[in-house]
Amino acid sequence: MSAYWVTTYKEITDEAKVAAYAELAGPALRAAGGTFVARGLPEQTYEAGQATRTVVIVFDSVDAARAAHDSPDYREALAALDGGAVRDMRIIPGAE
């Protein structure tokens, strides 16, 4: 069953750190089997929606998404982020 990695950026405190993170995270997550399906600011929000940067990545399974998160390459990306953003990140199983 597929899984979705969803990250929302509640606050960006250091654009340079976010850029350094993105440069490392993208290749690391793609190498781990992730496919970016959405990223950016919302075009529209409803109810209590907030206009925060959001990234959605699909993996083949929850286990694959967890392994990507725990991989040495992604840990390097997290080290580069180093507090440059306040984020909410979750892995959600696909509805199949």
pLDDT at 21: 98
Q: Find tokens 């959605």 and name the residue.
A: 56
Q: How far apart are CA 16 and CA 81, in angstroms?
A: 9
pLDDT at 78: 98
- Kindly report the pTM of this predicted structure: 0.92
Query: What are the residue boundaries of the structural domains of the chain, listed by start?
Result: 3-93
What kind of architecture, by CATH, is found in domain 3-93? 2-Layer Sandwich (3.30)
Q: How far apart are the two ends of the chain, measured CA to CA in Å?
A: 7
Does 96 score more than 90 pLDDT?
A: no
Mind listing the pLDDT tens digit for each residue in 57-85?
A: 999 999 999 999 999 999 999 999 999 99
